[in-house]
Structure 1
Amino acid sequence: MAAVNLALLRVPHGAIPAGAKLSILIPARDEEANIRACVESALMQSGIALEVIVMDDGSRDATAAIVREIAARDPRLRLEQAPPLPKDWAGKVHACARLAECATGTHLLFLDADVRLEAGAAAAMLGHAARTNCAMVSGVPRQVIGSLGEALTVPIINLLLAGYLPAMGRAFTRMPGMAAGCGQLQLVEHAAYTRIGGHESLKTSMHDGLKLARALRRAGERTELVQGAHLARCRMYEGFAASWNGFLKNACEGMATPIGLPIWTALLAGGFIAPFLLLPDTALAAALALGVRAAITRQTREPWWTIPLLPFAVLTALAIQWTALTRAVRGGQTSWKGRAYGQA
């Protein structure tokens, strides 16, 4: 499946339709370390009419001040303040919903504050959406990995997408359950977004990229996951603790379910941990596992030094998932950026 999926994954391209305007929308909470580079990469996009809007979601640092400074020099940028977070809303999803209300573009590009767009990325995504008649085009940015803790957690994203999702979110699959999206980088047609109720239709979700793609498909729209490593780069977390907590917060919307997690454990542990425990008898299986990881690494432009860590990364991923499931069964909460989610 990984071999087929990697062959199907495409770099987006296409002509921008006449009259198109792009709204680049950035939710930001306590992002003073990231927001300048993110905004500047958005403003450098060329070949398309655009506006950039940052929604300051109750930041307790200099996020808003940095955006105001840049906006004073570039009228395409403006800062908005998110209203207080309503009950039963996830913070990022609420900020995205408010951003969409402010946007005037024909297309919306939701961008996490830790993402840096490469030159021409926005035009390529919009052109691809028009050429393929897709209401949503999303991609996983090249993941910048700067520590061992990140190497044990972040690469699992592309491993799961390439190895276990048939066709890896390509539009021809049609079925909502086979949709895929990455909340770090997702472009959506404004009209289609409005028709499905926008982010309000998934207001409790911590997994907005995936849920938005599936909501659009349920409404009959086409969505597609494209090669994102050439479009943008992102350092999701810094260090093991941040990575662990970041993946923990939305685990129960993915693998960490009472029925699904035992199956995932058998698949992942059997394919990527057991062969290394049973060496030398399973040398071929271990080599195949590393080969799969190497092929994904090449396509996604992740660091090569992370490949030998494969069994440890899978073990860490399963530990995160089982921790999340245990916490959910016990009615525990997950904290993220000063907000608590889940049952009390």
Structure 2
Amino acid sequence: MTLIAILAFAFAALAALLGAVNLGAMRTPPFRQASAGTQVSVLVPARNEEGNIAACVESALASEGVEVEVVVMDDGSTDRTAEIVGALAARDPRVRLETAPPLPQGWTGKVHACQRLADAARGTHLLFVDADVRLAPRAAASLATYQEERGLGLVSAVPRQVMKGWGELLTVPMINFLMLGYLPVPMMRTRPDRGLGAACGQTMLFSREAYDAIGGHASIRHLLHDGIQLARRLRDHGRMTDVVLGSELATCRMYETFDQAWAGFIKNAHEGMASWGQLPVWTVLLGFGHVLPPLLVLLALAGLAPMAPALGALALSLGIRAAITRATGENWWTVPLHPATVAVGLAIQWASLLKLGRGSGAGWKGRVYPAQ
């Protein structure tokens, strides 16, 4: 038990150290007026989003410091999504409603909708956002000027995740935790390795030229996780990518129930860590560093484990979670729930891996595709 406690302390210390470095390196881009001739196309794939789409479009129309257009691709919605966007377009010429053609063979739905959006866009920059994202007025200009100043192919931001229920709190916090706790941000910004490519699909801004150069979403037509995959494609083509703090640039409430969150995260887990080559390693890193510490403290109180490394591991694990929570503006319940959240995150990954192994599929908004 002593060895296990020491390992838990070591893995928690690793996450705390890397997280501290990342938090020191990652910033929100400052607001600057975009250069003359810059136009940001805000592109929204939408399938049955009548509860979200008006607020999403209106937040984009409130953008400051850059010319914008807002293009919504209605992809087979059976609710009032198209009607709502049509009414907004009638009031503001910057809004356009497009209708996705039938899904071609070999494509996944959201990726197909995003490619059709890019085809319809007129801007110098393509800002893909999900329908549940609300952009801040400074977001489009800040991301566009940041991209231009650094010559990036892609800059992505993780919006402030709005979490109100237990189901969200036990799942959604893993996005920022993995990004800030384990992605080596200084290396990402200085090395071109494809493995360092990362992005949050909720908010991704491409230069038009870089997007077209890699073949856009068509180059990953059979995949689901466009954030990771397009970032890696860009790096394969010599284009750098970056991730910035996005809590002041956008907000997003992804899910409202545990079932929604589980289904949403499991659908593209196999394009992240849910592979036989990666998941056992992640299970050790996350399990020892963040799931075991509170259990070890309980064992230490019973005299079955050494108290010092157990307490140290728990303090480091909760400490880095608290620092990430503060930087990202997330709900403070993410801190005491952190061990359970990591355990649920690992369960989702393992469930995805085993499900894929049985030949099951994944989908988007009611469309189901066979596993690739």
TM range (shorter): over 0.9
Q: TM-score, normalised by structure 1?
A: 0.97
- The residue number in structure 2 matching 1:312 is 340
Match of 1:203 among 203, 221, 225: 221
- The residue number in structure 2 matching 1:4 is 21
- The residue number in structure 2 matching 1:289 is 317
Residues paired across the two proteins, number: 344
Q: Distance in 2 between matches of 1:172 and 1:229?
A: 24
- The residue number in structure 2 matching 1:182 is 200
Deviation at 1:136, TM superposition (A): 1.0
Q: Which amino acid aligns with 2:157?
A: G
Q: 1:25 to 1:168 in 2, by over 3 A?
A: farther
2:162 corresponds to 1:144: yes
Contact 1:328–1:342 at 8 Å: present in 2 too? Answer: no
Local SS of the residue matching 2:84: helix
Local SS of the residue matching 1:31: coil
Match of 1:91 among 95, 105, 109: 109
Q: Which amino acid aligns with 2:274?
A: A
Match of 1:193 among 211, 217, 221: 211
Q: Distance in 1 between matches of 2:35 and 2:194?
A: 27
Q: Which amino acid aligns with 2:25?
A: L
Q: Distance in 1 between matches of 2:191 and 2:200?
A: 17
Contact 1:112–1:185 at 8 Å: present in 2 too? Answer: yes
Local SS of the residue matching 1:278: helix
- The residue number in structure 1 matching 2:15 is none
- The residue number in structure 2 matching 1:324 is 352
Match of 1:51 among 69, 72, 75: 69
Q: Distance in 2 between matches of 1:121 and 1:305?
A: 27
Deviation at 1:250, TM superposition (A): 0.4
2:367 corresponds to 1:339: yes
Contact 1:15–1:130 at 8 Å: present in 2 too? Answer: no
- The residue number in structure 1 matching 2:143 is 125
Local SS of the residue matching 1:17: coil
2:177 corresponds to 1:159: yes
Q: Distance in 2 between matches of 1:323 and 1:248?
A: 8
Deviation at 1:306, TM superposition (A): 1.8
Alignment of 1:21-40 (within 5 A): 21-40=39-58
The percent of aligned pairs where both chains have the same amino acid is 53
Contact 2:159–2:251 at 8 Å: present in 1 too? Answer: yes
Q: 1:168 to 1:242 in 2, by over 3 A?
A: farther
Q: TM-score, normalised by structure 2?
A: 0.90
Q: Distance in 2 between matches of 1:308 and 1:343?
A: 35
Q: Distance in 2 between matches of 1:217 and 1:10?
A: 22
Deviation at 1:170, TM superposition (A): 4.4
Q: Which amino acid aligns with 1:37?
A: A
Local SS of the residue matching 1:227: strand
Deviation at 1:12, TM superposition (A): 1.1
Of 212-221 and 136-145, deviating more is 212-221
Q: Distance in 1 between matches of 2:186 and 2:258?
A: 28
Unaligned runs of 5+ in 1: none
Q: 1:2 to 1:239 in 2, by over 3 A?
A: same
Q: Report which of the two structures shows the higher radius of gyration computed on alpha carbons.
A: 2
Local SS of the residue matching 1:183: coil
- The residue number in structure 2 matching 1:79 is 97
Q: Distance in 2 between matches of 1:109 and 1:168?
A: 24
Contact 1:168–1:225 at 8 Å: present in 2 too? Answer: no
Q: 1:227 to 1:30 in 2, by over 3 A?
A: same
Of 166-175 and 87-96, deviating more is 166-175
Unaligned runs of 5+ in 2: 1-17, 301-306
Q: Runs in 1 of length 4+ with deviation above 6 angstroms?
A: none
Alpha-carbon RMSD: 1.3
Q: 1:327 to 1:168 in 2, by over 3 A?
A: farther
Q: Distance in 2 between matches of 1:145 and 1:206?
A: 24
